[in-house]
A and B are shown apart, each in its own frame.
Chain A
Amino acid sequence: MRSVLAVLLLTLPLTVLSGCGLSSQELRGTAYLAISVEGDQPLTKAILQEEVLQAQTIVAAYRQLHPHVAIETNLFRESTFIDEVRRRQAAGLGPDLMLVAGSTARSLVEANLARSITIPEGTRSQLDPDSRERLKLSPRDLAGLPILRRPQLACYNRSRLATSPASTGALINQARGGLRVGLAVESRSLFWSAGPLGADRGIITAAAGRPLTASERQGLQRWLEWLSAANFNQQIFIKPSQESLVQGLLARRLDWIPCNSGNLSRLRRTLGVELGVSDLPSGPYGPPTPITRLRVLAFGTGSTAQQRRLADSLALFSLNPWIQSSLTTDNQDMLPTNRFVPPSAMDTPVLKAMQRSVQQADATDDISRLLPAGDPRDHALSRLVSAVAFGELTATEATGAVIRALAPAP
C-alpha cells in the first residue's frame, strides 16, 4: 500500500506539470538546450559563460516575447556530444534543441538523434549560402538551423604590438625581436598556418583518403618543418590547447595568439582597449586557412509536442535579422548567418576582420567537412604535431605518419 502511495505521490505532480499549459494557446513550458564545447580542457566558469553567452542573449530576448518559457542549458564536449545525446535519448531525456558545430548536426541527423528540418523558402533564402550548403541534406531539408559563425582571428596585446604581422615570415621575425607568440598543437587551432605554407591541399587530400601528389607532400612537410623551427625560437610558445593560449594572453604571458571570435568577450573584459583583433597572417604559398566554427541549432527527437513547438519557435526567432543584428553588434564576437542583417551593423574593424577570415575560410570548408570537430583523427594529428613541435619526430619522419593519421577509417 505504501508503495502504491509512493508511486502516486511521485507521478501525480509530474502528470500535473506535464498538463500545465496545454490548454493555453500561449507558448509556455521548458525546453532543454544542449550546447557543445570544443576542446578537452577542464570546464571553467569562464568557458561556460563564453559558450552560453549567445544562447543566453537569444533566450533573454525570446523570453521578453514569451515570459512563460524557460530554457535549461547543458554543456557537453563536442567529441562526446553524440554519445551523450544517445545515452539521454535512450532514457527519454534527450535535449529538445542542440547548439552544435555544423558537422555534429549532420552526424546527429544521420544517427537519428536529431530530426532534419524543412524550412519555408522565405526563411531559407535568408540564410548565408555557405552555411546553408554545409547543412544541406536534400534540396529541401537541412540538418539544422545555422545561427552564428565564429571565425578564427589573430588576437594580440596592443600595448606590445601596434598591428598584427601580415605574414608568417613577419610573425617569426617579430618573435625573434621579442614578441611572445603562442601556438596550440590542437589541429583546428593550427590549420590556419597550413595555407600560408602550402599544406592545405595535402591535408585535404590525405583526409579524403586520396594519394598525395609530390607537391602536396612537399607542402605538408614544409608546414611541419615550419612548426619544428618555430619551437626552436625561444619566444614562440607551443601550448597544448587553444584555452591555454587564451589564458596566456589574458595573463599577459603571451602577446599574439590565433583565437576564435568566441573568445573575444572574455579577452575584451580583461584586456579592454589593449586587445587587438585582426585577420591571421598569410604566407609565401597563400592566404591563411582559418576554420570558421558554424554554430547550428539541431532539433531533438524525444520532445513532447509542446517542447517541439517551443524549440521550433525559438530557433526561428534566433534567425530573425533583428536578433542576429543585436547579437553581432552587442558583443562583436560572432558573425550572423542571416544575410539580411544590415551592412551598417557589420561596419566595425573587428567585424570586418571576421568577414575577411570567413572569406579565407572558404578554402578550409573541405577540411571542416572531412575532419569534423571531435573526429578521432583530429587527436591523432594533434599528437603528431606535438611530437614534431617538441622535436621527438623530424618533419620528414612525421610527414608519412600525418598522412596515415589523416586517412579515413575504412
Chain B
Amino acid sequence: MNDLLSQIMGWLPMLSRPQVLVQLALVALTIVGSRLVTHRYGGMVTSWPLELTATVVVGGLGCGLLAIAQQPMALAVLLLSVLACLQLSELLLRQGARWLPEDQIQPLRHLLIRPFLVGVLLWCLIELLDTRDELALIPLGHWMGANVNVGDMTRLVVVLYLLMVSSGPPSLGVAWLLKRGFALERVSVRAIGLMVRYAVITLGTVAVLETIGFNSTALFAIVGGLSVGLGFGVKEVFGNFVSGLWLLFEGSLRPGDIVALDGDFCEVRRLGLRATRLWRERDNAELVIPNQTFFNTSTVEFGVGRTLLHTQITVSVDPSQPISTIKALLEEIAAAVPGVDADHPPKAHMLGIGDCGADYMLKFWIHSPFENRTLCGAVFQAVVERFQVLGIELPNPHIVVELPSDQTST
C-alpha cells in the first residue's frame, strides 16, 4: 500500500510543470466561465444546453490559443471532453425524463454514466501520468494465500461493478426463458431474474478471486464466518431479505396487488428485497413494510385485475315493518347507488331482532376495495334518505331513565 501511495505522490511534481498548470487553469476558467454564463442568462436553475455550449466555446477558444502558441493541450482536451460529456449526459437525461420514470433515471445517472466517465478519466490520466502495466504490479499485500497487487484489485472491482450494473437485463432474459421453458406460471420473472443475477455475481466474484490466487478454503471459511455473523447480528435484515426473495419466487405478492393492512386497503407499489412499498389511499401515504410482515401475519390480498370486493352494511329498522318489504327496499336502494356492481345484485338478509329493532345486513359488490368506505357511506346515506321519505323509522339506541315515584312527586 505504501508503494502505491508513494507512486501516486510521485505524480504531483509532474503536475506542477508550467505547461500543465496552464492547462489546469484553462479547465478551471472554462468551468467558472460556463457557470457564470449559465447564472447570468439561464436563471437559478442549471441550464445544461447553455452550460454545454459555454464549455465548448470557452474550452475550444482556450485550446485554440494553446495550439497557436504550440503549447501542450492534451490534458486540457481530456478534462474538458469529460466535462462536456458529463454536461451532455445531463442534457440527455433531462430529455429522457419525459419517457423514463425518475426511478430509472437516477440509477442510469449514478450507476452507469457518472462511474463510466470517472473510470474513463482515471484510466486516461493513469495512461498519461504512469504506466498501467507497471502500476498494476504494485503489491498491496498478502491476503488469503495470494499476493494481491493493484492490477488484481482493480480487476476485482471492475468485474464486480460490471456484474452488478450489467447483469440485470440479461438475468431477466434468462429468467424469462426459464419461465417459458419450464412453464413456471406461479413464479415471478423478477424473482428468477434476481436469483440468476445473484448467482452470476457470486460466481463471477469467486472466479476472479480464484484467478487472483485466493485460497478457496480461506474463502469458504470467511463465508462460513459471515453466515454465523449474519445469523446473530443482522438476522432481521437477513430474514427480510429471504422473505423478499421468497415472496418474489412464490409470486404471492406483486406490484399492483391490493392488500389490507390494519383495516386499510393499500396498493403494492414496489416489491424490494428487504421491504415492500405500499400506497395507502386513505391518506395518500407510502408505507415501507418489512417483508417478514407478510410472512408472519395473514394478509387479505387482491391480485391485479381481481379487485371486486363483496362488502356490507348493517341497518336497524322498526321491527313492525314487513320484513320482505324492507329487504326488497334495501336491495333496490343499494342497486341504485352509483359504483355498486350491477352484475351482482345486492342481497339483504335479516339478522335478527336487536336492542334497537330488526337488524338487516345489506351485502353488495363494488369494483375497487379503495371505494369501500365511500360506497358504504353512500349506500347508508341513500337508505336513510329513502326511509325518511317513506316514513320508516330507523330506531336509534336510546336510554330511558326511570326515576322512583317519591322523587317524581317532589
Contact = CB atoms under 8 A, between A and B. Distances in A.
Are A and B bound to each other? yes
Interface of A: 3-4, 6-7, 10-11, 13-15, 17-18, 29-30, 32, 42-45, 48, 70, 72, 74-76, 87-93, 302-304, 307
A32 B7 CA distance: 12
A152 B269 CA distance: 74
Contact of A92 (B13, B19, B131): B19
A311 B24 CA distance: 25
Interface residues on B, range: 35 or more
Contacts of B22: 92
Interface stretch (B73-81, B302-310, B346-354, B390-398): B73-81
A56 B74 CA distance: 31
Contact of A15 (B21, B31, B73, B78): B21
B128 A14 contact: no
A17 B10 contact: no
Contact of A93 (B12, B71, B75): B75
Contacts, number: 101
A304 B32 contact: no
Contacts of B13: 17-18, 29-30, 70
Nearest to B33: A3
Interface string B109-140: 00000000000000000011111011001000
B128 A11 contact: no
Interface string B1-14: 00000010011111
Contacts of A88: 128
B23 A72 contact: no
A14 B133 contact: no
A30 B8 CA distance: 13
Interface string B85-121: 0000000000000000000000000000000000000
A7 B25 CA distance: 8
Given A11-B21, A45-B137, A18 B10 contact: no
Interface in B1-59: 7, 10-25, 28, 31-32, 35
A17 B16 contact: yes
A75 B32 contact: no
A43 B134 CA distance: 7
A74 B28 contact: no
B14 A93 contact: yes
A347 B134 CA distance: 36
A91 B32 contact: no
B21 A18 contact: yes
A219 B68 CA distance: 55
A93 B131 contact: no
B131 A76 contact: yes
B137 A91 contact: no
B72 interface: yes
A91 B131 contact: no
Given A14-B21, A15-B21, A4 B32 contact: yes
4 tightest Cβ-Cβ pairs between the two chains A and B: A7-B28, A18-B16, A92-B72, A92-B19
A93 B134 contact: no
A91 B17 contact: no
A91 B72 contact: yes
Given A87-B128, A302-B17, 5 more contacts: A15-B21, A70-B10, A90-B74, A92-B19, A93-B75
Contacts of A29: 13
A11 B18 contact: no
A123 B82 CA distance: 49
21 contacts: A3-B28, A3-B35, A6-B31, A7-B24, A14-B20, A14-B24, A43-B137, A70-B10, A70-B13, A72-B10, A72-B14, A75-B133, A91-B20, A91-B23, A91-B128, A92-B19, A92-B20, A92-B23, A93-B17, A93-B129, A302-B19
Given A74-B134, A75-B131, A89 B72 contact: yes
B125 to A, nearest CB: 9
B28 A304 contact: no
